[in-house]
A and B are shown apart, each in its own frame.
Chain A
């Protein structure tokens, strides 16, 4: 395991769940438009943000991801009409759980549409900076014991 005493050296690992219809296309647009953003996010494409069982997020954190980004269509724009409204409730509950276990500020829910390539780049930059500030996920240490 690499020593990570110096926070500035720390590169957070972010798992990004992007919905197929908006955010994934948004990320694509960020790519083809050559917007620069940190390479910390590992993208997983899902059909809709409501496909993301909070279990996925918790599993990612258990396995040592430093942060999780969930991105979907703006409310009202979901391809399946109401998926993202449901996501919103679930993540609100999940967020409370994480907060109460002292793991808050590691899960981000953002709405990014297919035309918001620039915004996607900004979101990723923003959360990467926040996580750098926060330091590594305490669960990462499990393999050191």
Chain B
């Protein structure tokens, strides 16, 4: 059980302290949305604003994308770059992203100060909408969510609702096995005991399908894709300054037409670029306007990387990247 209010207080105090001492340039965190219980990213520059920082199961974003943007900014001509670290509030899955970013030499450790918060699962806003269908619209923004072990208690001025966690949790949280941040300067919360479970149970159904069925499955899903590229833009590991899907010269890899083979190409190439790196933060699926289960494919690769090459991304900075390394004894011909 997590006491969100206590965690929120700790986060605010830490941010205030860092900002007062000038140790950090600013703090990236969450604040409560205006007309919605869902939290949104916020950048805190002044210590007196630290009280805005919020914490709860509706802090869904992976804020490390902003970290990448921060380190990629080029200073204006003649301007001294401000190289002070940036404070950031992370969930365990976001902290795994930071590990990957450090591994790939994108974010130097000294450029970031991490407030790592434990998390036992975040809520999918779409599922929450469903659960709140009986709550009057003007009350929704003011609801309070408490962790009750197996369920979430939703409080508003009316009869409190109790909804089983399984109904509300994000898909990624249901299968997640890392509930403590892996890299942090400040650890917020009490260490959660590691759970032992089959982390790939969610892809078992697709795995059991035949080739034709799978093709049909993806055909249905990917024909919905409108190639808005939101999934790429939100991905903290998609930090290429020039993405292959944006360039048309010297060779146009991906036609801009939105048709099935091109959509397949887009998703397969992106999966390939993320193989052995994706830490399953669920960002792509969260932003997809067409509800395409993008995470599923990356999970297969996660599984393959783990089973075949013993590579688990986002755990240890010292680990070699999957494609940055090879083993002479890797399984060879007739790859399957």
**Interface positions of A (Cβ within 8 A of B):** 54-55, 58-59, 62-63, 75-76, 82, 85-86, 88-105, 109-111, 138-139, 142, 145
* Residues of B contacting A86 in the complex (Cβ-Cβ under 8 angstroms): 323, 326
The answer to whether A58 and B265 have CB atoms under 8 Å apart is: yes
A91 touches B335 (CB 8 A): yes
Question: Which residue of chain A has the shortest Cβ distance to B271 in the bound complex?
Answer: A97
* In the bound complex, CA of A59 to CA of B91 (Å): 37
B332 touches A88 (CB 8 A): yes
Does A55 contact B215, Cβ atoms closer than 8 Å? Answer: no
Contact (Cβ within 8 A) A97 B212:
no
A62 to B32, CA, bound (A): 44
Decide: A92 and B217 in contact? CB cutoff 8 A: no
Given contacts A58-B272, A101-B215, A101-B268, contact A92 B261 (CB under 8 A): no
User: Can you pick out 24 interface pairs between chain A and chain B where the beta carbons lie within 8 Å of each other?
Assistant: A54-B269, A55-B272, A58-B265, A75-B328, A85-B326, A85-B327, A85-B330, A86-B323, A88-B330, A92-B308, A92-B331, A93-B301, A93-B322, A93-B323, A95-B336, A97-B268, A97-B272, A97-B275, A99-B211, A102-B217, A102-B218, A105-B211, A139-B260, A139-B261
CB neighbours (8 Å) of B330 from chain A are 85, 88-89, 92
The answer to whether A62 touches B264, judged by C-beta atoms less than 8 angstroms apart, is: yes
Residues of B in contact with A (beta carbons under 8 Å apart)? 206, 209, 211-218, 244, 253, 259-262, 264-265, 267-269, 271-272, 275-276, 296-297, 300-301, 304-305, 308-309, 322-323, 326-328, 330-336
The distance from the CB of B51 to the nearest CB of chain A, in whole angstroms, is 46
**Residue from B213, B215, B333 within 8 A of A138 (CB atoms):** B215
When distances are taken between beta carbons in the complex, the residues of chain B under 8 Å from A98 are 268
Known: A58-B268, A85-B328, A100-B214. 5 other contacts (CB 8 A): A89-B322, A89-B330, A93-B322, A93-B323, A97-B268
Question: How many Cβ-Cβ contacts under 8 Å join chain A to chain B?
Answer: 107
Cβ contacts under 8 Å, B265 to chain A: 58-59, 62
CB <8 Å contact, A96 and B301? yes
Task: Establish whether residues B261 and A88, one from each chain, have CB atoms under 8 Å apart when the complex forms.
Answer: no
Contact A142-B218, Cβ < 8 Å, known A92-B304, A109-B333: no
Tell me the bound Cα distance from A138 to B332 in angstroms: 28
Given A62-B264, A102-B216: A95 and B335 interface contact (C-beta under 8 Å): yes
Whether the Cβ atoms of A59 and B253 lie closer than 8 Å is: yes
Q: Out of A91, A101, A111, which one reaches B264, CB within 8 Å?
A: A101
* Given A55-B253, A93-B322, A100-B297, A62:B261 Cβ within 8 A: yes
Q: Give chain B residues whose Cβ lies under 8 Å from the Cβ of A90.
A: 272, 323
In the bound complex, how far is the Cα of B218 from the Cα of A91, in angstroms?
A: 21
Query: Closest approach, in angstroms, between the C-beta of B331 and any C-beta of chain A?
Result: 7
Q: Which residues of B lie under 8 Å from residue A96 when comparing CB positions?
A: 300-301, 304
Chain A residues with CB under 8 A of B332? 75, 88, 111
